[in-house]
Structures are given as structure tokens and as C-alpha cells.
């Protein structure tokens, strides 16, 4: 395990060095001027919608600019009571699938995941599963005979609503300047 972590750290370090060497001290503003105008490129992480609007006898191009989904941060660490309940239900289903064995084990585990993911989406469900995983869960489940013996972590503090703060982004520019042609 330590060898893997060390190898991963070394790869990360080499990747960082290669990225730095890629630009070799040139600023991105300088590099973008060298792009050909015939090649489209992505204005990441912005989502831009355009519409032509007729005003009197003239036509105007209107732009709507907002963060693309990938740039919006919505994660909240605290779980709701429903998320805790569904997380416990998920782990009990996984436990029962593992303990019963047989050729339907994987199907039952996939079904448990599909159930929780359909309620909360895959990313949030992964967080719920991580936060509600029994403290005594082991790969072989040795010494645990029934789902009642699973030791779930306490969730003393939960939130009442799925969203307790607005989505946010930290990587957008402060302002966007458009020049009329």
C-alpha cells in the first residue's frame, strides 16, 4: 500500500512538472493569440446562450452567460434525515446480498445502488454511502451474523432540507467584457 501511494505521489509530481514545461513561461494570453480563427475552442467553464432579438428595424445579438454545470459546486457534507435512513437501508441491502450469496448477489447489490441513486443522483449517493457505511464493515463480514449487528456511525447533526446553501462557483471571472463590433 505504501509503495502504491509513493508511486502515485511520484506520478503526480512528474505530471505537475510536465504541465509547467508545456507552457515554458508563456502566459495563456500570449498563447491564445496564436490560435487560428477557424478552429473553435471551448470557453470553459462558461455556458453561453445566444439569441437574435428584433428591436424596431434592427437586430441585436443578446448573450446569456452563466457557469457551466461542471463549475458549480453544490456539495454539502451534512446529510438529511432521509439520506441517513436511505444510506442505512442501502448498507443493509448490501449486507443481505453478501450474506445470502448465490448467483444473484451482484444483481441485488446493483439494485440497491440503483435505488439510492434514483433518489439522490450518483454523486450524492456515493457521499451518502461513504458517510453511512457501518463502522464494523469488513471485506469478509466475519463476525457479523445479521444486519442488526451493523454498527452505523452516529449522525447527531443533520439538515432539514436537501439544500441549505445556494450553489456556488469559485472559478468564474469577476466580470465578462463584450465589445460591440
Chain centroid, CA 171 distance in Å = 16
State residue 106's pLDDT score: 93
Percent of the chain topping pLDDT 90:
34
| pTM of the full structure | 0.61
The three cell numbers locating residue 88: 442505512
User: What ranges do the domains of the chain cover?
Assistant: 2-71, 81-149
Which of 30 and 60 is assigned the larger pLDDT? Answer: 60
Please enumerate in sequence order all residues whose Cβ is within 8 A of that of 176, keeping only pairs 6 or more positions apart, or say none.
46, 65
Cα–Cα distance for residue pair 109/118, rounded to 1 Å: 14
Amino acid at each position: 500500500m505504501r509503495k502504491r501511494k509513493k508511486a502515485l505521489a511520484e506520478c503526480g509530481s512528474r505530471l505537475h512538472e510536465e504541465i509547467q514545461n508545456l507552457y515554458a513561461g508563456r502566459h495563456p494570453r500570449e498563447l491564445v493569440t496564436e490560435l487560428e480563427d477557424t478552429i473553435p475552442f471551448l470557453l470553459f467553464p462558461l455556458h453561453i446562450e445566444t439569441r437574435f432579438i428584433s428591436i424596431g428595424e434592427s437586430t441585436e445579438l443578446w448573450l446569456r452567460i452563466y457557469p457551466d454545470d461542471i463549475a458549480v459546486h453544490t456539495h454539502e457534507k451534512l446529510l438529511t434525515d432521509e439520506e441517513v435512513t436511505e444510506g442505512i437501508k442501502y448498507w443493509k441491502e448490501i449486507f443481505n446480498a453478501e450474506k445470502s450469496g448465490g448467483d444473484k448477489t451482484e444483481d441485488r447489490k446493483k439494485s440497491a445502488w440503483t435505488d439510492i441513486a434514483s433518489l439522490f443522483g450518483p454523486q450524492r449517493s456515493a457521499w451518502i454511502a461513504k458517510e453511512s457505511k457501518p463502522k464494523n464493515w469488513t471485506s469478509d463480514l466475519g463476525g457479523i451474523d445479521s444486519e442488526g449487528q451493523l454498527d452505523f456511525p452516529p449522525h447527531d447533526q443533520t439538515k432539514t432540507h436537501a439544500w441549505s446553501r445556494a450553489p456556488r462557483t469559485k472559478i468564474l471571472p469577476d466580470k465578462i467584457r463584450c465589445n460591440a463590433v
